[in-house]
Structure 1
Amino acid sequence: MRKPDMVLTVPPGTGVESCAVFFSDRARRLSIRIRPDGSLQMTVPFGVSGKAVNAFLLEMIPWIRRTLPGVRRRSAAAKKADLRFPDAVTLAFPGETFRTEYRWLDKCWTAARLDRESHTLLFSGCVLDGGSVLSAFSELLKRTALSLFPDALTDLSERTGIAFRRCTVRMQSSRWGSCSADGNISLNAKLLLFPPEIVEYVMIHELCHRREMNHSAAFWREVTAFLPDWKIRRSALKREFEKLPEALRRLA
């Protein structure tokens, strides 16, 4: 990997001491990322002043403070458990299985994409770093879930007659969904790994919280009205989670 064009000192209390800056003729805007090892890398278009670069770093400090602990936690967990990414991954919600392939590039990042024609999950970049591979897959799951879940939730909303305000997607260890008082429903991207009937249970569960913001008997009556077999589906969710490869269970 080439040497940085600049190295900036990061203000104390951020959790990292410096930020490597790389100028790029392909960059269209300033961007900053946290590498799996916890270091910072900024990409800057040519022609941007040093003053603007420093100002951008200061602007991103709150984001760095929020994001850095999670990146380090995932990387440490991967190294501690010596996690291996599976040879194939099934996204059961859309019903597709992808064979895992790797393409090493002399980069400090790892990217993941799905090739539906060849049914391949391709990782490219710094693929020898297990933490980087997991982070790339986590981001891929979130993007894919965001392209599928809002429409699926809207269909269920119309079927049940229960409205919601907005659907968001997060990556969490084992919290499958949440519903806020103002009607925002959040779903775990890992639900893509589970069959449609399980995802439907989680979505119905969260929609019913629009009527009962608790887990009272009244809440479960609401769920039962739409899914009489919800107990079977809830048990299946737990079983399917335990069947996931260790690397995928630990995604958060």
Structure 2
Amino acid sequence: MSLSEQLELFSEVPAALVIPSKLPVPTKPAADIAVVPTVRPPSLAAGTRWREVRTGTQTIGFVLQRSRRKSIGLTINDDGLLITAPSWVGLGQIDEVVIEKSRWILDKLSVSQARKAQMAMAHTRWQDGGDIPYLGNRIILRLGETQGPTRFLGSAFAPVDGDTLRLALPVTAEHGRIRDIVHAWLQHQAQAWFDQRLQHFLSVSQLQIKRWRLSSAATRWGSCNSDGNIMLNWRLIHFERDIIDYVVVHEIAHLREMNHSKNFWREVGRILPGFERARNILRQQDPACLPLI
């Protein structure tokens, strides 16, 4: 079974990686992977054990569980790396898989740990005086008013750092309620702004879509299918407008080229000259980790 370790910007990210039980040990393990701590969980479920394997980069610890499945499965969960393997597969074969897939494992562990750190800090944002990213700037949440709608004290689609979003909530409001109201406001803004940019670039490209809608996908920024339906991740509203334009144009270009060929990128450049900067910035981001709230 062949697997790709480098995922395309708009492709699905697997929640779990399933691979055959026999893989060769690499002769040159990747040397450019940052050290990622793998710590034994404080407790182990019945029928599992902790095991560590030394790779060319670092030692990787994982929870091993035997099962009736026919192949070795790798999953990243809250405790780190979980490997499920048939009872007849030897420990040596399991170790070989860990070494072979060490790049994938460390990449996903790094993302997972960053996500948990973000979640641990999230409560500091969901309060009076907290700040959130909006169209490339940081805006401040203000509570204390108990009546009226959510109000943004700034230019709706041209914010500057320090603009205020006033919520009709007491300063003692529960964090989850603050988050839900802010998310609803952000999605409303995304719906309006993305629609404006879609209409603009559809006019520039002389193309048409069937319909579009917001997405909450955790694995992609946008998508376009052969029927002319476009989806855009609402969390793009956290980014500066040039990056949003790039994703919008990326999906519009798929109306002509349902691939990532040279013709496709030529079409992107025709609609949005100089798109490369935004593409390079977005390539460094992972929808699974953004927004940071």
Give RMSD over aligned pairs: 3.6
Counterparts in 2 of 1:115 and 1:187: CA distance versus 1, 3 Å: same
In the alignment, which residue of structure 2 is the partner of 1:98? 139
Cα offset, 1:120, TM superposition: 2.3
SS of the aligned residue for 1:200 comes to helix
What residue identity is the alignment partner of 2:218?
Answer: S
Name the CA distance, whole Å, in 1 between partners of 2:183 and 2:117: 13
| Normalised TM-score (structure 2) | 0.47
SS of the aligned residue for 1:144 comes to helix
User: 8 Å contact 1:208–1:222 — kept in the other structure?
Assistant: yes
Residues 106-185 of structure 1 aligned to structure 2 (within 5 Å): 113-116=150-153, 119-125=163-169, 128-173=173-218, 175-185=220-230
Residues 1-150 of structure 1 aligned to structure 2 (within 5 Å): 81-83=120-122, 84-85=124-125, 87-92=130-135, 98-103=139-144, 113-116=150-153, 119-125=163-169, 128-150=173-195
In the alignment, which residue of structure 1 is the partner of 2:291? 248
User: 8 Å contact 2:125–2:132 — kept in the other structure?
Assistant: no
What residue identity is the alignment partner of 1:92?
Answer: L
What residue identity is the alignment partner of 1:141?
Answer: L
In the alignment, which residue of structure 1 is the partner of 2:262? 217
Question: If each structure's helix is expressed as a fraction of its own residues, which one has the higher value?
Answer: 1
Encode CA deviations 1:53-76: one digit per residue, 9 max, x unaligned. Answer: xxxxxxxxxxxxxxxxxxxxxxxx
SS of the aligned residue for 1:133 comes to helix
SS of the aligned residue for 2:227 comes to coil
Name the CA distance, whole Å, in 2 between partners of 1:247 and 1:213: 26
Encode CA deviations 1:117-136: one digit per residue, 9 max, x unaligned. Answer: 69421234486433332222
Name the CA distance, whole Å, in 2 between partners of 1:198 and 1:125: 32
Counterparts in 2 of 1:97 and 1:112: CA distance versus 1, 3 Å: farther
SS of the aligned residue for 1:229 comes to coil
The structure that has the greater radius of gyration is 2
What residue identity is the alignment partner of 2:259?
Answer: N
| Normalised TM-score (structure 1) | 0.54
The runs of 4+ residues in structure 1 deviating greater than 6 Å are: none
User: 8 Å contact 1:224–1:230 — kept in the other structure?
Assistant: yes
Structure 1 residue runs without a partner (length 5+):
1-76, 106-110
Counterparts in 2 of 1:119 and 1:224: CA distance versus 1, 3 Å: closer
User: 8 Å contact 2:140–2:163 — kept in the other structure?
Assistant: yes
Name the CA distance, whole Å, in 2 between partners of 1:195 and 1:171: 19
Decide which of 179, 184, 190 is 2:235's aligned counterpart.
190
Cα offset, 1:152, TM superposition: 1.6
Encode CA deviations 1:73-115: one digit per residue, 9 max, x unaligned. Answer: xxxx79962412173335227xx7532112387xxxxx98233
Residues 201-216 of structure 1 aligned to structure 2 (within 5 Å): 201-216=246-261
SS of the aligned residue for 1:213 comes to coil
